Amino acid sequence: MSTEETSRFVRLRVDLVVEIDDADEVTKAALQRIAGETDMPDDERAHAEGAVTEDTAEALAYLVDPFDLVGEVPGVELVQASWSSEPIDYDPDSPEWDLDEDDVDEDDEEGGAV
């Protein structure tokens, strides 16, 4: 397939599981980042501070910036990004956490026998 026939857009999916060793440090860092946002309206600031104080996963999501992942990659411009975080039960020995299971194309899974 030639370059003209391929899309210039690529969806990059990243699934991370992180262990929070110090929830207070994560919250503190998120609050510092919020404090540094000079153009944030007061009502939005209050909402963000409440969210990161109540939920460590929300604090982590506030600290993670997808632009940081690709911002220095030559020839790449971040067009759109969305991300979320949530607390999970994690057992690295469980077969449920096999990272390779997501390698199956979703269209292949739905295209079963008729």
Q: Any idea where the domains of the chain sit in the sequence? A: 3-87
- The tens digit of pLDDT for each residue in 72-111 reads 999 999 999 988 888 988 888 888 777 665 555 555 444 4
Which residue in 106, 81, 89 sits closest to 14, CA to CA? 81
Nearest CA-CA partner of 11 in 111, 80, 92:
80
Count helices and strands in the chain by DSSP H and E runs = 5, 0
* pLDDT tens column, 20-55: 999 999 999 999 999 999 999 999 999 999 999 999
